[in-house]
Amino acid sequence: MGLLSRNATCNTHGQDSSYFLGWEEYEKNPYDEINNPDGIIQMGLAENQLSFDLIESWLAKNPDATNFKREGQSIFRGLALFQDYHGLPSFKNAMADFMSENRGNRVSFDPKNLVLTAGATSANETLMFCLADSGDAFLLPTPYYPGFDRDLKWRTGVEIVPIKSTSANGFRITKSSLQEAYEQAQKLNLKVKGVLITNPSNPLGTTTTRTELNHLLDFISCKNIHLISDEIYSGTVFTSPGFISVMEVLKEKNLENTNVSKRVHIVYSLSKDLGLPGFRVGVIYSNDDIVVAAATKMSSFGLVSSQTQYLLSSLLSDKNFTANYLKENKIRLKIRHKKLVSGLEAIGIECLKSNAGLFCWVDMRHLLRSNTFEAEIELWKKIVYEVKLNISPGSSCHCNEPGWFRVCFANMNEETINVALNRLKMFVHGMSSTTRSQSEHQRLKSLRKMKMSNWVFRLSFHDREFDER
Amino acid sequence: MKQLSTKVTSNGHGQDSSYFLGWEEYEKNPYDEIKNPNGMIQMGLAENQLCFDLIESWLAKNPDAASLKRNGQSIFRELALFQDYHGMPEFKKAMAEFMEEIRGNRVTFDPKKIVLAAGSTSANETLMFCLAEPGDAFLLPTPYYPGFDRDLKWRTGAEIVPIHCSSSNGFQITEAALQQAYQQAHKLDLKVKGVLVTNPSNPLGTALTRRELNLLVDFITSKNIHLISDEIYSGTMFGFEQFISVMDVLKDKKLENTEVSKRVHVVYSLSKDLGLPGFRVGAIYSNDEMIVSAATKMSSFGLVSSQTQYLLSALLSDKKFTSQYLEENQKRLKSRQKQLVSGLESAGITCLRSNAGLFCWVDMRHLLDTNTFEAELDLWKKIVYNVKLNISPGSSCHCTEPGWFRVCFANMSEDTLDLALKRLKTFVESTDCGRMISRSSHERLKSLRKKTVSNWVFRVSWSDRVPDER
């Protein structure tokens, strides 16, 4: 008898994917300006390290937020005991306001419809448990965050069917791609329970357009299914077009308080906007009371530490702080984004035009040996092991077309980006000579077969080709 | 088409049980010494509020721990970014050592085999996901913590089959009961994947005996199944006996590093011993690498806040603090338990003899109208609505005998406990004498009523107290 469950023994956790393997390489040999200048630069981690100073200076001015005091009185006991899955009211109020602020106060969020969870990872899984049974499917536009394969499918038994998008139209979601995905699910005998999008998109770094949002709402209305909008990057929109939340579109279409609006759910987190992934703060927002009630009970499996709820409720209640932070954060992201984009341009590498996120969706199709995913992985391995940059290959994000890579820019300082760009420059320039040496390689291979001695072969052949070792 | 999952539309969360309904009543009318002295006293919540002063004074002397500093330097950034599901190494080390200390350093815990989770609620569910498929079963001795119905079954699809324990032997687990449960599972066509025990027991407040632990280890060996020992109350052992962990028994039976030891898993948490349920700190300890690995990945769904890991790693690394805390905690729990037990005794109520936990398992069988669960619920409602004490009825813990109640003692001040005991005593005294008289009176009046005595005579002689007559 199998002693462990299928969950424990399978690899639906998805962690054998290259997305995670790149991380492992980095762990073995991490770049450090001083201690390890030849190490691997981490460009595969979508972290926001650009605005910590703003939070640190707030913390220095507001010591009570962390020392268990409120107006000089100890509140330790209250917090130590606070495990109510409805969450700290002051924190939910502050979160609702912050989410509203992120949307230019064009929509408002009722704290009673908010459910707190230990990160968006927990929020997304919980929503799956609430909306789908094992064997049901959700449609996701590709490319998408690799973690979804684990978060949405692993323990829930839910399936993901891709809504395929292509570079032909900037990876936009179209009516026909939605319909095609739906039909594909039916062919696979899967009951579609909804669509899940990330807006702004990871890995594209683009905000979803009003047209796309309208298509999505029409689609879920007509199919009578759910729409989950993971808006975890909503505070990282640094240039036009601005951020449009699905909540705004519901309002514009006069669909608030209708059955459709009950099938639209938002996921949020402080891991990207505020750069606090370690604190495990996620949120589900739903207009459906039953979903809120069920998700609230399920949040027992991943509550936010009361110590952390208290700190963040103080932070986010400070409107001076939040207004300044949101503004400054965007300015810094914009600058850093520009640095990466122009640096890549100078090497002849283009990016998808983006206005949000902590990364660029980089077009390296022209550097592929062939228009295949094998060639993409080959290129990726070179970039990881030789150029020593950990970037994420598009195939790990289920991209349809080989040659795209997600490259992060907000988790390192300016000098490090410069180093990364320089390395890439050298690699790309070296590559054009590699193309020469490739045909040379082919010639030498046939020569070898004509019995040239090994030592001649070894001298002329570069170490770089793994498959020849 | 059905819009929401079956998990949402069924009642698998188990929260319609009386265990939770009592809480709701309390929320509406909570006791406060000054503002609401007639309110409901919460005795249904197993919280440890006796030793906060010790932690508070440590915090006052060690301000860096809470203010995100190390040696006066801010480590905010490091903590803000730390989301490694392997957990903070210093914290896992401190947890391992704390767990060892609680077991008198007789066994060792390897930090690499610890998986952190957001509370033992998360730890237990995660273990189910790792060990059982939907439809598989775990055997649990009754009575057990009502939350298990949700934690172990709801989203996992696992089933619980009870191992029936009775008062005839102090609710101890017997070989016969284990076998019977196993066979019952078979009758129900359920594959048994393991046994889960809480040691010390919730709601009994007793630590498992060596005999029971040996029985359990032999049982899982012979059936080739798992044993989960939820040792969340291990630091609340206040009796003369030492706490015996299943890990002690594995060592004593020389089963360390065997196949059996790979099927024994311990769950722990800081919610009871340290009184920190709000901080969401739980742990799974397993000798099976595959389980550690799978559970670690699953912990992504419920990681412990790095802010909290840091604070607690500082606290638990202070060995002076931990040894003083454990000793003082036990003393205070012992004295509080004694206060409850003797107070109940003077009201003619006995408890199961206990040596651990934050509650007593109270025998109110003699106060039942009939030896039925209906009568238990009747009595419970009286105690909640009339005596205004929220206690937990045994049926909510799946006890097979009516009349037992779990009464918590560590979540209130001495004075409040006194007051609760006084109220209960008054209730018992009025019920005892009153009931004999009023019952026959009640019968007489009922027949009189049928003989057309006017309603106002009836209403004036009959007390409000019995709801079924309103």
pLDDT per position in chain B (470 positions), as tens? Answer: 568 888 888 766 766 566 667 888 898 999 999 999 999 999 999 999 999 999 999 999 999 999 999 999 999 999 999 999 999 999 999 999 999 999 999 999 999 999 999 999 999 999 999 999 999 999 999 999 999 999 999 999 999 999 999 999 999 999 999 999 999 999 999 999 999 999 999 999 999 999 999 999 999 999 999 999 999 999 999 988 899 999 999 999 999 999 999 999 999 999 999 999 999 999 999 999 999 999 999 999 999 999 999 999 999 999 999 999 999 999 999 999 999 999 999 999 999 999 999 999 999 999 999 999 999 999 999 999 999 999 999 999 999 999 999 999 999 999 999 999 999 999 999 876 545 444 444 555 555 545 444 443 333 333 333 223 22
Tokens of B461: 């002689």
Nearest-angstrom CA–CA distance, B25 and A273: 40
B residues 68-107 near A, CB within 8 Å? 68, 74, 76-77, 79-83
Contact A246, A207 (CB under 8 A): no
Q: Which of A81, A133, A308 sits opposite B277 (nearest CB)?
A: A81
Question: Can you give the pLDDT at residue A22?
Answer: 82
pTM here? 0.91
Whether A76 sits inside 8 A of B119 (CB atoms) is no
- SS3 assignment, position A146: coil
Whether A5 sits inside 8 A of B305 (CB atoms) is no
Question: Can you give the pLDDT at residue B314?
Answer: 98
- SS3 assignment, position A48: coil
Question: Can you give the pLDDT at residue A21?
Answer: 77
Judged against a pLDDT cut of 90, whether residue A306 lies above it is answered with yes
Q: How far is B52 from chain A (nearest CA, A)?
A: 7
Nearest-angstrom CA–CA distance, B208 and B243: 8
Query: A265 - beta bridge partners?
Result: A228, A286
A116: nearest CA partner in chain B: B302
Active-site annotation holder among A145, A182, A268, A325: A145
Which residues does B418 contact at the CB level (< 8 Å), separation at least 6? B339, B343
- Of B382, B379, B384, B387, the C-alpha closest to B421 is B387
* Cα B135 → chain centroid: 25
Q: Which of A5, A118, A307 sits opposite B129 (nearest CB)?
A: A5
H-only helix segments in A299-346: 306-317, 319-345
- Of B137, B130, B229, B133, the C-alpha closest to B182 is B137
**Maximum CA pair distance of chain B?**
86
pLDDT in tens, A34-93: 999 999 999 999 999 999 999 999 999 999 999 998 888 899 999 999 999 999 999 999
Which residues does A357 contact at the CB level (< 8 Å), separation at least 6? A46, A200, A201, A202, A203, A204, A205, A206, A233, A236
Question: Can you give the pLDDT at residue B23?
Answer: 80
Cβ-in-10-Å burial (0-12, 13-18, 19+) of A378 comes to middle
Judged against a pLDDT cut of 60, whether residue A184 lies above it is answered with yes
Query: B229 - beta bridge partners?
Result: B197, B266
Query: B198 - beta bridge partners?
Result: B230
- SS3 assignment, position B128: helix
Q: What Cα–Cα distance (Å) separates residue A26 from each residue in A222, B70, B132?
A: 46, 26, 35
Q: What Cα–Cα distance (Å) separates residue B195 from each residue in A3, B160, B221?
A: 13, 9, 11
Annotation marks residue B285 as catalytic: no
Owner of token pair 């690799």: A146
Q: Report, as an integer, the average pLDDT of A246-275.
A: 97
Residue count of chain A: 469
pLDDT in tens, A334-384: 999 999 999 999 999 999 999 999 999 999 999 999 999 999 999 999 999
**Residue B179: Cβ within 10 Å count:** 13
Annotation marks residue A145 as catalytic: yes
Annotation marks residue B85 as catalytic: no
Q: Which of B68, B77, B129 sits opposite A7 (nearest CB)?
A: B129
Active-site annotation holder among B225, B232, B244, B349: B232
Query: A196 - beta bridge partners?
Result: A228
Q: Report, as an integer, the average pLDDT of A294-309.
A: 98
Q: Which of A5, A51, A73, A127 to mutate to test the interface with B (most CBs of B within 10 A)?
A: A5
B chain contacts of residue A307, beta-carbon cutoff 8 Å: 66, 278-279, 305, 307-308, 311
Whether B302 sits inside 8 A of A122 (CB atoms) is yes
Q: Is A432 on the interface with B (CB under 8 A)?
A: no
Contact A237, A329 (CB under 8 A): no
Contact A359, A352 (CB under 8 A): no
Nearest-angstrom CA–CA distance, A119 and A288: 21
Active-site annotation holder among B136, B149, B230, B363: B230
* Cα B126 → chain centroid: 18
Which residues does B206 contact at the CB level (< 8 Å), separation at least 6? B170, B171, B200, B352, B353, B354, B355, B356, B357, B361
- Omega of the bond prior to A277 within 30 degrees of 0, cis? no
Q: Which of A1, A6, A7 to mutate to test the interface with B (most CBs of B within 10 A)?
A: A7
Contact A193, A132 (CB under 8 A): yes
Contact B349, B423 (CB under 8 A): no
ipTM above 0.95, yes or no: no
Question: Can you give the pLDDT at residue B11?
Answer: 65
Nearest-angstrom CA–CA distance, A272 and A356: 11
